[in-house]
Amino acid sequence: MAKNETLTSPIAANNETCFAYPFEAGCTTNHSSNNLSKDSSLDARLIILLEKETELKLQIDELIEEITNLEAITKNRSRSNEICWEDFEAPEWCVPIKADVLTFEWDEFAKECQFDVILMDPPWQLATHAPTRGVAIAYQQLPDVCIEELPIPKLQKNGFLFIWVINNKYSKAFEMMKKWGYTYCDDITWVKQTVNRRMAKGHGFYLQHAKETCLMGRKGEDPPGCNHSISSDVIFSERRGQSQKPEELYEMIEELVPNGNYLEIFGRKNNLRDYWVTIGNEL
């Protein structure tokens, strides 16, 4: 080693050790090369990420376009399914009775006819002031006590009761059935579908609701001509208007008790059906 090239003490830089010479910058040159290598690696990774971002943006655009098309199809389908009430004609053999169920003369009505099947879709009072999280309720709700006081026992000595329930009213519905003299015997699940046959998920507090349940109770003996082991306890059917229930349930009831006396309480125009008596204030 030359006289003027005396090695000084080592210097640590970036976990690497180099030796600095008094009049040379060799150590600095080594670090510059390392930095350039790292910069090149970062540039390559950045290019890959940018390419992935571009690819994801294209996929998002395609999904947005697909959603827009599906919404347009659904909207057109809904319009085609809408009933024009001005031109609406009730089925020829239905018996609609427009009345407030709370003030209706049930005693006189029960004297004239007893029913083999009673179907109810009560306007249950929901638990909170904003339970639907943005979904408007287009009908009046009733407290449990008003529904419970309906004189159902007077309308039926033997037969079946079908009652639609919402999630927080299961216990109350069972209480009502017991008070009215019914024994729970089965239930029916309606799995809601979209026009594309996909599951139609709705709002819910913990889980998104995609089904509704109809409880079935029995009182006394089976009605004359009652069939057993029919159909299925699950209905897969398209979701239609608000609170509008599937037509398959009516078909199931008519298969269960052919040529029976059928009564629906809290019915609407879209529920009117041949050979059914329908009572409600929205007819």
The domains of the chain are located at: 41-82, 92-131+140-280
Greater confidence (244 vs 193) lies with 193
Q: How far apart (Å, rounded) are the C-alpha atoms in residues 54 and 67?
A: 20
pLDDT exceeds 60 at position 9: no
Q: Could you read off the pLDDT of 217-268 as tens digits, one per residue? A: 999 999 999 999 998 999 999 988 767 899 999 999 999 999 999 999 999 8
Q: Could you read off the pLDDT of 151-183 as tens digits, one per residue? A: 999 999 999 999 999 989 999 999 999 999 999
| Region 92-131+140-280: CATH code | 3.40.50.150
Q: Could you read off the pLDDT of 61-96 as tens digits, one per residue? A: 888 877 877 776 666 655 545 556 566 788 999 999
Long-range contacts of 192-196 (CB under 8 A, 24+ apart): 192/237, 192/238, 192/239, 193/236, 193/237, 193/238, 193/239, 194/74, 194/238, 194/239, 195/73, 195/74, 195/77, 195/238, 196/70, 196/73
- pTM score of the predicted model: 0.68
Specify whether the CB–CB gap between 95 and 89 falls below 8 A.
no
Question: Among positive and negative, which fits the CA dihedral 162, 173, 268, 243?
Answer: negative
